[in-house]
Structures are given as structure tokens and as C-alpha cells.
Amino acid sequence: MRENSFPVNPELVEEIKAQFFKGYTDGLQNFDREIGSFFFSLAPAEQLKVLVDFMNYCHHHLYFEGFVIPEVLYSLGYIQACLVQSYKTYQNLSKLSVKEITGEPLIEATPVAGPPVLTLQNTVVQTNGIHKIALKYPADEIIKLWQVLLDIHRCKSVAILPFFKTEKEVENLLGELFCASENAGVSLPDREHRYYELSSDYQPILCLLMHATYKLNHPFTRIKLEPYSALLKQSFSAFQGIENVADISGNITKKKDAGIMLLGEIKSSKYAKNALKILAKIKDYRIKA
């Protein structure tokens, strides 16, 4: 046996696992950086090509010679995570298409609730100057989340006047902001955009609902936060005093924390209970269902 060869014992196995999984975790977190910020500005067909090249690159470097070197094991986990995440992203992009890309037909999607039909080219759909965002996360849960607007006026710490009075009104609101793909399960009404006159006291709850929608939808669309923040600016007078969309994005985390506190005041409400159960699925929020 060579001097640098030795049998694998349980302690060494644990060390190998720890290094690999640390790399894997970091790889998942850094995927956006590794794929490159330019990726998200590309047309979907170009995104698919980039993903194929990136997957081939990762696969080429997933080569293990058997040397138990911490840096090597960490790197293998890191590369494996990038490969897995790029494959998932490729699958999600492919399933959105109703057209042929690169000469081969991909999976067709069924039109929902009339035009606009969701395709790979319009994950963000422009209607009348407003960019509706496609929901790939189950739309029924997004609807239940936003229905808390029906009871938010019951909070005692803020003077919020009731505006939305029926579940249908909330669905109509969502139909003005989003469009649901077949993957979302439930369709939304295809509504013309409307501007809502709401006081600035609505900012915390609206920031919470929009940020939560972004967090739930992001793994399926990879759409960044800015388009969601733009919808807040374009749709609600509560944000008219904020000049830049970037400022909304920069403060949305602090505002959503205030929104969570408001839900705590009405946690006995049916709508608040539903919303909190859905918010509990977002790990960053640290909410117990």
C-alpha cells in the first residue's frame, strides 16, 4: 500500500460527506452568479443554449480520482449543485413553450383564460404598458395569500380603511397583475390593469404579499424582484411617494416584516390563518404554521 493510501473509516466518511454537502449548499446559493447576470437578459432560446453549454461544462469537471482532499470534495459538491440547478432551470424553461425552439418542438402548454397565451418568450407579458408576471407556483395558494386583504382593515395598529370586500375582487386584482400558466393549476381572470387609490398604510401588507409571491414563484421562473416592485409602483397609489422602483425593492424586506406583524394582530381571521400557512413555506420568513 502506498504511503498516501489508507483505508476509509467512519470518521473519514463523515468528513467527506461534510465537505461535499457544504460545497453543494454553496453551489445552490451561488448558481445565479455562476451562470452569469447576463443570462437573465437573454431571450429564452438563448437561455436554453447557455444552459446546455453550462451543463456540459459542469459534467466535464465532475471527475474524481479518489483523493480525499477537502478542497476537491467541496468543489465536486459545488459543481454538482450547479449541474442540478441548471438542469431544473432548463426543464422549467422548456415546459413553458408552445413554439418550436432550435428546430425541435417542446412540450405544448394549454392556453389559459384567453389571451395572452403563455409562451417561453413571455414569462413577463406586456399588456397596455403593464408587464404582467406569469405565475408558475400554484395560483390557488397565491389567491388565498392575497385574500388577507379582505381582513387587513381589522388591524388596530394602523388606520386602514376597508377597500376589498369580496374574494372575487381580490381575484380580479390578481388577474390585473399576473397571468397563470397551466402549471399553476387554477386560472386567473384576464383583466385590464387598474390603478388603486390606497393610503400609504397599505404599504407593509402589499410589500409582504408581493415579496412572498416573488419568493414562491422565483424557483419556477427565475424572474428577479424588480418587476414585482414595478407592479406595486404602477398599481397602487400607496407607493406614489416613492420615486424609484429600486427604492421599493431596497426596502421591501423591511416593509414585509412589518406586514407579518400586521397579520399577527388578526391571526384569528380565516384569511390570516390561510396566509400564514402559505408564508410558513418560505424558509427565510421563519414563520411557524
Query: How far, in Å, CA of 108 to CA of 282, rounded?
Result: 30
Half-sphere exposure of 53 (CA within 13 A, CB side): 10
Most confident of 29-38, 41-50, 178-187, 188-197: 188-197
For the record, the C-alpha cell of 286 comes out as 421563519
Q: What is the pLDDT of residues 224-252, one digit of tens each?
A: 999 999 999 999 999 999 989 999 999 99
Who has greater pLDDT, 61 or 108? 61
Q: 3-state SS of 219-256?
A: HHHCCCHHHHHHHHHHHEHHHCCCCCHHHHHHHHHHHH
Region 145-157: mean pLDDT is 95
3-state secondary structure 3-49: CCCCCCCHHHHHHHHHHHHHHHHHHHHCHHHHHCHHHHHCCHHHHHH
Q: What is the pLDDT of residue 262?
A: 95
pLDDT at 265 > cutoff 70: yes
The whole-number pLDDT of residue 97 equals 44
pLDDT tier for residue 280 given thresholds of 50, 70 and 90: very high
Is the model's pLDDT at 185 over the cut of 50?
A: yes
For residue 43, pLDDT over 80 is answered with no
Stretch 34-42: mean pLDDT, rounded? 74
pLDDT of residue 67: 64
Bigger pLDDT: 96 or 118?
Answer: 96
d(CA 287, CA 140): 20
Segment 202-209 shows an average pLDDT of 97
Which among 150, 197, 152, 195 is positioned nearest to 171, based on CA atoms? Answer: 150
Burial 167-204 (b: 16+ CB within 10 A, else e): eeebbbbbbbbbbbbebbeebbebbebeeeebeebbbb
Q: Is the pLDDT of residue 182 over 80?
A: no
* 8 Å CB contact between 287 and 280: yes
Q: Which of 8-17, 103-112, 245-254 has the highest mean pLDDT?
A: 245-254
How much of the chain, in percent, has pLDDT values that exceed 70?
79
* Range scoring the smallest mean pLDDT among 101-110, 155-164, 182-191, 229-238: 101-110
Q: Is the pLDDT of residue 100 over 50?
A: no
User: Of how many residues is the chain composed?
Assistant: 289
Q: How confident is the model at residue 210 (pLDDT cuts 50, 70, 90)?
A: very high
Percent of the chain with pLDDT over 90: 43
Per-residue model confidence (pLDDT) at position 109: 34
Q: What value does the mean pLDDT of the chain take?
A: 81
Least confident of 19-23, 112-116, 159-163, 233-237: 112-116
